[in-house]
Amino acid sequence: MRSATNTKRNLVTAALVAPAAAWLAVFLVLPFMAMLVFAFGERAPEGGYQAAFTFTQFANLPTRAAAFWNTLLLAPAGALLCLLIAYPVAYYLAVKADPRYRLILVSLVVVPFWTSLLVRTYAWMYILGSRGIPNLLSMIGIEDVRMLNTPGAVLLGIVYGYLPLMIMPIYVSLEKLDRRLLEASADLGGKPVSTFFGVTLPLSLPGVMTGVALVTILLLGEYLIPQLLGGGKVFFLGNALVDLFLQSRNWPFGSAIAVTLVAVVVVVLMVAMRVAWKVAGTRQVDLV
């Protein structure tokens, strides 16, 4: 009797997770394995993939060194720039803002993240383009200012696109912060500055780590922002990948770059988790 109900229970469980499991297997696990296989293959003469087992593609990675450097420099730089602007905003929302307006103010931060990144990036293309600010400047006599297709424009687009994603996790970790700790610090004679650096900042580090890791990872795979605001001059790995898959049709080499990109993402994730654990550990020692 008992085993019969157990079997029935297991069957129901299996039926519930089966569609999602099939989806994950066919559209996540299988594609990753296929990509791995392609990365060790050769380019067919007419483009695409030809079966082989060679490390040539990985040996060729240095030919795309510029894309690697741009990505590995600008992604963390963009994430840090986001952090510098996001932290005060998150702090204000969680600690200083009037509770009556907090919900609206938080929503106003979240909403842009869920609206089309393409449209939001396009907005800057429109503003920085020759009919935008440069045109205004030329009216007051400052001629020939180029704003579009510069690293600065790409960085601006990055901050604009990913600021909401940085603010949210920091806000969540600050919102959970126990106010009594701040009061305790003040009662014990801590100045606001030392309370911030001794209590608030360490306690919000998990949120900071989550934000930095999320934004860095998404930026590592960014395509639209460098494409539209960098105009092919500021080249990310994402741009190299689109070029290799959709233009020059060198699929094995593209797969090798994509596999390397995933490896970098995994490393970033692992470092972030390691730091988050360390922070959590020291936090316990400090408080207890």
Partner 1 sequence: MRAFISSVYLFLYAPIALVVLFSFNAGRNASEFAGFSTAWYGKALGNTFLISALQNSLLIAFTSAALAAVFGTMAALGMERLGPRMRALFDALFAAAIVVPGVVIGIATLVALVAVFSFVNPAIAAFWSGDRPPQLGLGYGSIIAAHGLFSMALVTMIVKARIASLGRDIVEASGDLYATPLTTFRLIVLPQILPSILAGFLLAFTFSFDDFIIAFFVAGSKTTLPIYVFASIRRGVTPEINAIATLVLVASLLLILTARVLMREKKSKSGE
- Report residue 175 as tokens: 């919102």
* Piece of the chain touching partner 1 by CB under 8 A; list 53-61, 175-183, 200-208, 235-243: 235-243
Chain centre to alpha carbon of residue 186:
36
Please identify which residue in 59, 108, 270, 271 interacts with partner 1, judged by CB under 8 A: 108
**Should residue 152 be labelled a site residue for partner 1 when binding is judged by CB under 8 A?**
no
Please give the angle made by the CA atoms of 207, 208 and 212, to the nearest 5 degrees.
Answer: 120
Q: Which one of 224, 225, 234, 256 is in contact with partner 1 (CB under 8 A)?
A: 224
Q: Which of 244, 247, 248 is nearest to 261 (CA)?
A: 244
Measured from the CB atom, is 101 or 287 closer to partner 1? Answer: 101
Give the residue, chosen from 1, 4, 65, 119, that forms a contact with partner 1 under the rule CB under 8 A: 119
Which residue of 6, 7, 54, 135 would you call a contact of partner 1, by CB under 8 A?
Answer: 135
Q: Is 28 in the site for partner 1 (CB under 8 A)?
A: yes
Nearer to partner 1, 84 or 184 (CB): 84
CA 73 to chain centre: 14
Least Å distance, CB 119 to partner 1, is 4
- Show contacts with partner 1 in window 189-208 (CB under 8 A): none
Nearest distance, CB of residue 75 and partner 1, angstroms: 10
Query: Smallest distance, Å, CB 135 to partner 1?
Result: 4
Cβ 256 vs Cβ 37: under 8 Å: no
| 32 belongs to the binding site for partner 1 (CB under 8 A) | yes
Compute the distance between CA of residue 269 and CA of residue 215 in angstroms, rounded to an integer: 11
117-120, Cβ contacts within 8 angstroms, sequence gap of 24 or more: 117/161, 117/224, 117/225, 118/224, 120/160, 120/161
Q: Answer yes or no: are the C-beta atoms of 206 and 153 closer than 8 Å.
A: no
Report the distance separating Cα 15 and Cα 145, nearest Å. Answer: 62
Interface with partner 1 (CB under 8 A), residue from 40, 87, 124, 162: 124
Which member of 3, 107, 247, 284 binds partner 1 (CB under 8 A)?
Answer: 107
32/55 with CB nearer partner 1: 32
- Select 203 or 224, whichever has its Cβ closest to partner 1: 224
Residue 258 in contact with partner 1, rule: CB under 8 A: yes
Q: Which stretch binds partner 1 (CB under 8 A): 193-201, 202-210, 261-269, 276-284?
A: 261-269
Beta bridge partners, 43, equal: 49
Measure the CA–CA gap between 267 and 279, rounded to whole angstroms: 18
How far lies 259's CA from each of 35, 156, 226, in Å? 7, 28, 21
- Does 12 help bind partner 1 (rule: CB under 8 A)? yes
